[in-house]
Structure 1
């Protein structure tokens, strides 16, 4: 009688960043509106909230990965910010004012003060995982500011690798961004990688599709109907790895 197959143990845990590790300290649209008004640019916050996602999606399609190998992230974000403000009812903005607002916002989001931990348990959880010999990395559709942000929040030292779409020109759910991690840690069995993130398609299903393990970070039970409780985390204090 054949012996039952024993699942290999997790060797590497990868984490998404935005809305998994960290989140903006002040809601994005509220802060954008404040910065605009400081320069006497009147923006309707509700209109900005409505316009921003479609503009982000459109610019991501025409210039993927924050202008990778093209205009670069600062110019990419400047274009998005100015278009969003003009769409939100401010009308045309002079080039000088547009440059000031977009540069100030870009620089602000480079600093730790702009961000906060999404789960206060995170640092202690990361420390426990490292003590168990589990390697840690970040896989994020973020631009190259993330490393300095994590460093200023005393998080970067926990991770042996930070994989960013803005530095690779590849973004989740493309499996090649996960392959970068598999190669780096010499993981022959994809099930020894556990990926945790908040996006159903780009994190949970993308990791599952390559044979990795996955947990959906879902603190507000947004996906309770589509993902089993066993595969969701409300808090990192619930994380158990075998």
Structure 2
């Protein structure tokens, strides 16, 4: 396997994660509005709502309208989350709460960077490899990456809301490749992410060398996952070379 010219990385779950849980962070902001929440209940409801929601992408939407669409997508998700738990009625002004919540997740406060990330990024940069972000995220990711001190590592950031397509769709991978003139040479790129279907299978479909980042060492569910190039830390690629199949 040849060394890559470009390495693309997923954002949430790969570069950084939520401190504690989404439910804990929601409860923290709700407390500012005098609302007490069961963080575990909110967390379960959030992931149920998130998994059933359409992926966050807005095909054919003008770029100028994307920030509003992003806000409305997340507001709808939050409202469904609180409807399911019966907590929506506790908010005297849900719009004011959500506005603060949305802004909060654009800061460093609710996030943490995984310990292996900067070691891996430093090594790849020293090797002269170009690094990009490729994520099903909204435009707040630019602020988050900067706030977490990671901005200088990345030469491109490709997100679903601006691409009009979300992983595992080929279009978002093609958009990322185009930023580095690799449309006709996807084999010169790697993609690493924590979602088997969105990251690993999506990248493999168009010829990008993919690695499934299984941080939690979740058991494989099928033969496809068993056969995947799997790593548990980003630094596994440097310690073991490209033969990271496990």
Q: TM-score, normalised by structure 2?
A: 0.84
- Residues 23-78 of structure 1 deviation map (CA, whole Å, 9 limit, x = unaligned): 012311122123224423344444423322332344426xx427964642223222
Distance 1:167 1:179, change over 3 A: same
How many pairs does the alignment contain? 232
- Closer, same or farther: CA 12–91 of 1 in aligned 2, 3 Å: closer
- Unpaired runs of at least 5, structure 2: none
Contact 2:58 2:165 in 1 (8 A): no
Mapped to 1, the partners of 2:133 and 2:94 lie a distance apart of 33
Larger Rg: 1
Alignment CA distance shift 1:91-1:186 (3 Å):
closer
* Structure 1 residues 182 and 42: CA distance shift in structure 2, 3 A: same
Partner of 1:39: 33
Q: Structure 1 pair 225/80, CA: closer, same or farther in 2 (3 Å)?
A: closer
> Is contact 2:163-2:175 (8 Å) kept?
no
Alignment partner of 2:134 out of 127, 130, 139: 139
Match of 1:235 in 2: 233
Cα offsets for 1:54-110 (capped at 9, x unmatched): 32344426xx4279646422232222223311321225356x620121111111111
TM-score when normalising by structure 1: 0.85
1:182 is displaced (CA, Å) by 1.9
1:175 paired to 2:170 = yes
Q: Please give the alpha-carbon distance, in whole angstroms, between the structure 2 residues aligned to 1:225 and 1:55.
A: 23
The CA deviation at 1:204 is 0.7
Q: List gaps (5 residues or longer) in structure 1.
A: 1-6
Report SS of the residue matched to 2:100. Answer: helix
1:20 aligns with 2:14: yes
- With over 3 angstroms needed to count, the CA separation of the structure-2 counterparts of 1:182 and 1:90, relative to structure 1, is closer
Q: Which position in structure 1 is the counterpart of 2:73?
A: 76
Q: 2:119 aligns with which of 92, 105, 124?
A: 124
Is residue 166 of structure 1 aligned with residue 165 of structure 2? Answer: no
Identify the residue that residue 65 of structure 1 maps to in structure 2: 57
Give per-residue Cα distances to partners, 1:196-228, cap 9 Å, x unaligned. Answer: 000010001111111111111112211446434
* Maintained 8 Å contact 1:77/1:102: no
- Output the aligned Cα RMSD: 2.4
